[in-house]
Amino acid sequence: MKLKALLFDLDGTLADTDRLHEQAWLEGLSRYGLQGDHTFYQTQISGGLNPEIVQRLLPQLSQAEAAAFLEQKEARFRELASEVQPLPGLGTLWDWAQEQNLRRALVSNAPRENAQYLLKRLGLVFDHIVLSEELPAGKPDPLPYRTALQALNIGPSEALAFEDSPSGIRSAVGAGIRTVALTTGHPAHALEQAGAFLCIPNFADPRLWAYLHKMG
């Protein structure tokens, strides 16, 4: 079936922001005596939903304290992301999608304030935005991607998703969508195991373009 839409995750997919989130998370957790490293971030935090992460890692915090922690963490992230740039090839892909009349949707676990900040920074405008925090369930549940398909009025076979985490890939694949993985934060084998059919370092990879031209 002909491709009609591209669905994108945000962090680690449109821009290489994972290490910035990692720094913000590990700084925040260290104030509570919880020392983590890159592996800890990848396995315990990356791709998750903020409230669930805090509840699991800092169960001693009250609801108000958890909210304050997350507000501080995200403010620190935005401070670190002030100079963030889009992944190589994203501009070319964006122009190609416009030429092909492909619709574009953002599907992210990011808080709305972060999403708005990064999209403004990257200069991107989507046809539709789906944020997990505004749904009954977030990634890795398929609901965010199913919601995007419904909003765009298309079927799973008419979409292509771009993700960077096993959690996000499971969400997209669980909704029946073919998924390309960006290797910005996780090794290719972990992304393939989650269900990605193609792993690329950025949007300039010729393997992606060979696939897109075949689909166009």
Q: Which residues are catalytic?
A: 9, 11
**Residue 206 burial (CB count, 10 A):** 8
Strands 178-182 and 103-108: unpaired
Backbone angles phi, psi at 199, to 5 degrees: -120, 130
- Residue with the bigger pLDDT between 214 and 145: it is 145
Q: At 32, is the pLDDT very low, low, confident or very high (cuts 50, 70, 90)?
A: very high
Mean pLDDT taken over the chain: 95
Spatial distance between the Cα atoms of 131 and 111, rounded to a whole number of angstroms: 7
Spatial distance between the Cα atoms of 47 and 4, rounded to a whole number of angstroms: 26
pLDDT digit string, tens, across residues 48-97: 889 999 999 999 999 999 999 999 999 999 999 999 999 999 999 999 99
The pTM score is 0.89
- Asked which of 80, 97, 129 is the last residue of a domain, the reply is 80
pLDDT digit string, tens, across residues 176-210: 999 999 999 899 999 999 999 999 999 999 999 99
Q: What is the mean pLDDT of residues 105-125?
A: 94
**Residue 178 burial (CB count, 10 A):** 18
Residue type, 9: D
Spatial distance between the Cα atoms of 72 and 80, rounded to a whole number of angstroms: 12
3-state secondary structure of 179: strand
Give me the number of domains the chain comprises. Answer: 2
- Residue with the bigger pLDDT between 108 and 216: it is 108
pLDDT of 214: 87
What six digits make up the tokens of 78?
């935005």
Residues 99 and 121 in one domain: yes
Residue whose C-alpha is closest to residue 10's, from 150, 168, 153: 168
Residues 67 and 167 in one domain: no
Spatial distance between the Cα atoms of 55 and 58, rounded to a whole number of angstroms: 6
pLDDT of 216: 61
CATH of the domain at 27: 1.10.150
CATH of the domain at 104: 3.40.50.1000
Q: Which domain holds residue 27?
A: 18-80
Give percent of the chain with pLDDT exceeding 70.
Answer: 100
Residues 42 and 11 in one domain: no
Residues 197 and 164 in one domain: yes
Residues 24 and 114 in one domain: no
Q: What is the mean pLDDT of residues 107-117?
A: 93
pLDDT of 136: 95
With a cut of 70, say whether residue 45 has pLDDT above it: yes
Query: Do 122 and 16 touch, CB atoms closer than 8 A?
Result: no
